[in-house]
């Protein structure tokens, strides 16, 4: 008989938490028991998992008794407080927040890239930032072929990256504008409907946002590449789900388009969609709900000597969050 | 008595043509007569200009008799056919299409940058691409201070850049989605509502689009900088009006943020909006209908040694088209 596990989801009723449940079910993760934890607001709600109805329980110090894997998809403060408690109780924590990503004791893992790092865990493993994860899914295979030095990237990030409330905010703003009514803002400081906001996460003194620097900071750890440089502009766009990133990447070696294509066609978790003659290129709308990230618009970069430009789209609730977390659990379960 | 001019607008009923009429009126361009020309579809329509109603006339070989300035805002084929005819008739042509932009006999002009080039005209002057014009409005003052070598840029382009039909297409798609109906596509090959399309203009063999290469090709001519390199990804976004561009720029000299800020504060046609503490940065929604382009999110580029990253927004129907064309006419009228 193969082993089964007691899995807990922290933040089970959030956008990522709900997605984790679906991914666990769809991938037949070997679960003996599923515990759903959330803040007191969600207590008493029950969620479907397969043919079970599971009642959401309160996140507290004794919530992790007997848990094997605790998948955290709440905010950084919750992770900071409860991840050590879960680890003490014997669980392996896989954390979606940014709380532990820069902690050198905590592996930061994309299974297709540095899955081996997960095995070095000391009870907590961090899941990378969504935009970083999607970009690296396309960049890393190219790095293996050509050796990446630096990238220049701009993101087109969907509102679901800001949670369920942001999805409602975009819907409501579009409805209000349709009726000629004034627009209400709660999640974003400015109207997101029919607008784009060059502002994701908090601003740092350098003028970059935290989100923008995650590409370089997390990219260095995940690719084991301490000299990697990444200049990023992160932009929120009125798309419901799936992020897109435009990338110019500079490499050590000279780049061949044929090699780049064949490398990406073989890469796990990536689908090459690059037939511009037929107007085929990755679109955020087309990767909604898909596990694979789609990469296309491949071209030799005209402003770099050893450079390649590309465009990549990924469902940030899946590869950028829930799917990657479950993949990490799978690595350790097998 | 100061001189007045007979002005003709070719493509008067299009998105840019209508904008040109408003700009001429708002800036009190010295007009003795305004002739509105369009294809046979629009014949008989009459448009308001000040307190006049002007009937749209047919564009034909004799349409330019007595015209001083012919502002073309139709497609490239129309310009190729009729611009020489207008010039023969004695008009100075200011052409919004891409037909003559790379013709070395034709000055390509942004008045704030290379206004002097306009005086060298031989009857035709080209108006630059909208995304290029807006980007250069921010880049050129920085170039004067630091000497630009190359840029990496990604655009967030509004649907009005594809004309009035594209505005309707976005509106209709949003309405259809709101009602749960299927979406119709005519202007764009894919749904634009709640999506982003990495596809503006036709694809070249290199993998770049024509639109993407305009930044380098036109930038070289406008800035008199034959070595300038620009790697661009042009992306259509569900915004009605005003383009945004994220730029990483590399310079010859070392860059100071203070100098960059003071240079941009003094630059004509530019407004510095860069107070991230108060969540103030350029937004496409905020530059709608404004002559000035707004620049912000200034930061030392973390992947370049002498680099600056910035974000710029401009109304592409104004600085990217109608305003720039009228400014060129003003240069020559004075």
- This model's pTM is above 0.80: yes
**CA quadruple B58, B60, B65, B68: dihedral, nearest 10:** 80
Q: Rounded to whole angstroms, how far apart are CA atoms A258 and A23?
A: 34
Going by DSSP bridges, is the β-strand pair A148-156/A243-251 parallel, antiparallel, or unpaired? antiparallel
Sign of the Cα torsion A189, A194, A200, A205 reads negative
B194 contacts in chain A (CB < 8 Å): 238-240, 285
CA distance B154 to chain A (A): 6
Chain centroid offset of residue B229 CA: 20
Closest CB from A229, A239, A282 relative to B194: A239
Yes or no: say if A6 and A32 are a contact pair by the CB < 8 Å rule: yes
pLDDT of A110 reads 98
CA separation (Å) from A236 to A131, A200, A212? 11, 7, 12
Yes or no: say if B170 and B160 are a contact pair by the CB < 8 Å rule: no
DSSP string, B141-155: HHHHHH-EEEEEEEE
Put simply, the answer to whether A197 touches B283 (Cβ < 8 Å) is yes
Radius of gyration of chain B (CA): 20
Task: With H, G, I as helix, E, B as strand and everything else as coil, classify residue B248.
Answer: strand
Put simply, the answer to whether A246 touches B207 (Cβ < 8 Å) is no
User: Within 13 Å, how many C-alpha atoms sit on residue B109's CB side?
Assistant: 29
CA angle B86, B220, B69 (to 5 degrees): 20
Put simply, the answer to whether A198 touches B277 (Cβ < 8 Å) is no
Asked if the model's pLDDT at residue B100 lies above 80, the reply is: yes
Closest CB from B198, B207, B246 relative to A233: B246
Establish if B102 touches chain A: CB-CB under 8 angstroms.
Answer: no
pLDDT of A196 reads 98
Put simply, the answer to whether A156 touches B235 (Cβ < 8 Å) is yes
Residue whose structure tokens are 């790095």? A143
Selected residues 70-99 of chain B with any CB under 8 Å from a CB in chain A: none
Selected residues 115-144 of chain A with any CB under 8 Å from a CB in chain B: none
Closest CB from A203, A206, A284 relative to B196: A284
Establish if A21 touches chain B: CB-CB under 8 angstroms.
Answer: no
Domains and CATH numbers, chain B: 5-127+321-333 (3.40.50.720), 132-315 (3.30.360.10)
B198 contacts in chain A (CB < 8 Å): 244, 246, 281-282, 296-297, 311
Mean pLDDT of B9-38: 96
Q: Rounded to whole angstroms, how far apart are CA atoms A63 and B48?
A: 71
Mean pLDDT of B38-47: 89
Q: Which residues pair with B263 in a beta bridge?
A: none
B174 contacts in chain A (CB < 8 Å): 174, 178
Closest CB from A195, A231, A233 relative to B304: A231
pLDDT along chain A (334 residues), means of 10: 90 93 97 95 90 95 97 95 97 97 97 97 97 98 98 97 93 96 97 98 98 98 98 98 98 98 98 97 98 98 98 96 98 93
DSSP string, A102-143: T-TTS-B--HHHHHHHHTT-SSEEEPPPHHHHHHHHHHHHHH
Give the mean pLDDT of chain B. 96
Establish if A246 touches chain B: CB-CB under 8 angstroms.
Answer: yes
Residue B2 banded pLDDT, cuts 50, 70, 90: confident
Task: With H, G, I as helix, E, B as strand and everything else as coil, classify residue B196.
Answer: coil
Put simply, the answer to whether B194 touches A282 (Cβ < 8 Å) is no
Q: Which of A173, A186, A195 to mutate to test the interface with B (most CBs of B within 10 A)?
A: A195
Q: Which of B152, B156, B180 to mutate to test the interface with A (most CBs of A within 10 A)?
A: B152
CA distance A270 to chain B (A): 18
Instruction: Given the residues B121, B143, B234, B243, select the one marked as catalytic.
Output: B243
Yes or no: say if B40 and B58 are a contact pair by the CB < 8 Å rule: yes
A174 contacts in chain B (CB < 8 Å): 174, 178
Token reading at A150: 């630096």
ipTM of the complex: 0.96
Q: Rounded to whole angstroms, how far apart are CA atoms A154 and A244?
A: 9
pLDDT of A113 reads 98
Put simply, the answer to whether B302 touches A156 (Cβ < 8 Å) is no
CA distance B219 to chain A (A): 13
Give B192-218 pLDDT, tens digit per residue. 999 999 999 999 999 999 999 999 999
Put simply, the answer to whether B233 touches A284 (Cβ < 8 Å) is no
Establish if B190 touches chain A: CB-CB under 8 angstroms.
Answer: yes
Asked if the model's pLDDT at residue B43 lies above 90, the reply is: no
pLDDT of B163 reads 87
pLDDT of A44 reads 85
Sign of the Cα torsion B141, B284, B303, B213 reads negative
Put simply, the answer to whether A198 touches B297 (Cβ < 8 Å) is yes
């Amino acid at each position: 008989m193969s082993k089964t596990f007691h899995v807990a989801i922290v933040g089970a009723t959030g956008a990522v938490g709900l997605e984790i449940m679906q991914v666990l079910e769809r991938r037949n993760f070997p679960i003996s028991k599923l515990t759903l934890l959330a803040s007191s607001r969600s207590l008493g709600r029950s969620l479907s998992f397969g043919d079970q109805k599971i009642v959401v329980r309160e996140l507290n110090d004794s919530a992790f008794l007997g848990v094997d894997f605790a998948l955290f998809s709440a905010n950084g403060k919750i992770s900071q407080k409860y991840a050590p408690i879960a680890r003490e109780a014997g669980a392996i924590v896989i954390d979606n927040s940014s709380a532990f990503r820069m902690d050198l004791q905590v592996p930061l893992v994309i299974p297709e890239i540095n899955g081996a790092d997960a095995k070095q865990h000391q009870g907590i493993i961090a899941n990378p930032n969504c935009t970083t994860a999607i970009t690296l899914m396309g960049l890393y295979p190219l790095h293996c072929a050509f050796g990446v030095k630096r990238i220049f990237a701009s993101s087109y990030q969907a509102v679901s990256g800001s949670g369920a409330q942001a999805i409602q905010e975009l819907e409501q703003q579009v409805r209000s504008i349709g009726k000629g009514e004034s627009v209400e803002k709660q999640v974003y400081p400015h109207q997101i409907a029919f607008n784009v906001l060059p502002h994701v996460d908090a601003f740092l003194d350098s003028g970059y946002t935290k989100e923008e620097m995650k590409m370089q900071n997390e990219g260095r750890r995940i690719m084991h590449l301490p000299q990697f440089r990444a200049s990023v502009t992160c932009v929120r766009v009125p798309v419901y789900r799936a992020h897109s990133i435009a990338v110019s990447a500079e490499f050590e070696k000279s780049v061949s388009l044929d090699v780049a294509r064949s490398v990406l066609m073989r890469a796990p978790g990536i689908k090459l969609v690059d037939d511009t003659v037929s107007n085929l290129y990755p679109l955020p709308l087309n990767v909604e709900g898909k596990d694979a990230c789609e990469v296309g618009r491949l071209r030799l970069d005209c402003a770099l000597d050893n450079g390649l430009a590309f465009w990549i789209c990924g469902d940030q609730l899946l590869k950028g969050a829930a799917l990657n977390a479950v993949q990490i659990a799978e690595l350790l379960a097998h």
